[in-house]
Amino acid sequence: GDSVTQMEGPVTLSEEAFLTINCTYTATGYPSLFWYVQYPGEGLQLLLKATKADDKGSNKGFEATYRKETTSFHLEKGSVQVSDSAVYFCALSDQGFQKLVFGTGTRLLVSP
Amino acid sequence: DTGVSQDPRHKITKRGQNVTFRCDPISEHNRLYWYRQTLGQGPEFLTYFQNEAQLEKSRLLSDRFSAERPKGSFSTLEIQRTEQGDSAMYLCASSLKLAGGTEAFFGQGTRLTVV
């Protein structure tokens, strides 16, 4: 079945450092890809998405590019802030968006 | 609209008891999903509804679990004869079915502890 693999955390960075969180997927067909973020004490929020190959999703300085050839959707940010500390989940869905398949999540800790 | 609402936020129950959770989706959303999340894991799909019809159920949803969405509005998830392995965060999400899919909005979840 479909699956998502993302790097284990925690990822610990200093403020203004460059962030990469790796995500690879296995799926039949052409899934849509997502990054969700969960801030402490809050629910899951959609951070960005891409629905077809070579699409780039972006939001709040975060970016991820849908790479079909490497089945990857790595999350990047050029300069992280303390407020970015959260758990980040990579996910995919089929084209009909019947359900999301999530990775295990990566905790990001940013220190001043 | 205040988003997806779940009640209660926390539930502690004794093993063997029945529990019921409620989810109120965003009002115009016709799709509603239930997920379960255990510590250190990503959410796992349990079931989803389009309007009042339950269209898919995961193998994770044993016979002790039942979900309903009467009238296509709020939904309930009931767990009968709870077991310690049922302890988890239960998440509800809703979306509006459009061509090409759309964003799912999540509630803050109901944390279940079975003692």
- Tell me what the pLDDT averaged over chain B comes to: 92
Chain B positions touching A36 (Cβ under 8 A) are 106
Instruction: Say how many residues make up chain B.
Output: 115
Among candidates A93, A95, A104 on the partner chain, residue whose Cβ is nearest the Cβ of B41: A104
Three-state secondary-structure class, residue B10 = strand
Distance in Å, alpha carbon of B55 to nearest chain A alpha carbon: 9
Residue B45: which of A36, A99, A103 has the nearest Cβ?
A99
Mean pLDDT of chain A: 94
Helix (H) or strand (E) holding B99: none
Higher-pLDDT residue of A14 and B62 is A14
Nearest residue in chain B measured CA to CA from A8: B40
CA distances from residue B52 to A8, A12, B90 in whole angstroms, order as listed: 38, 44, 20
Predicted confidence (pLDDT) per residue in B34-52, tens digit: 999 998 899 999 999 999 9
Are A93 and A34 in contact by the 8 Å Cβ rule? The answer is: yes
Other Cβ atoms within 10 Å of A62 Cβ, number: 20
Q: Is B9 exposed, middle or buried (0-12, 13-18, 19+ CB in 10 A)?
A: exposed
As a whole number of angstroms, the distance between CA B61 and CA A78 comes to 41
pLDDT band at B103 (very low <50, low <70, confident <90, very high): confident
Q: Above 70 in pLDDT, residue B32? A: yes
B68 has a pLDDT exceeding 80 = yes
Q: Cα distance from A112 to chain B (closest Cα, Å)?
A: 25
Helices and strands counted in chain A (H then E): 0, 12
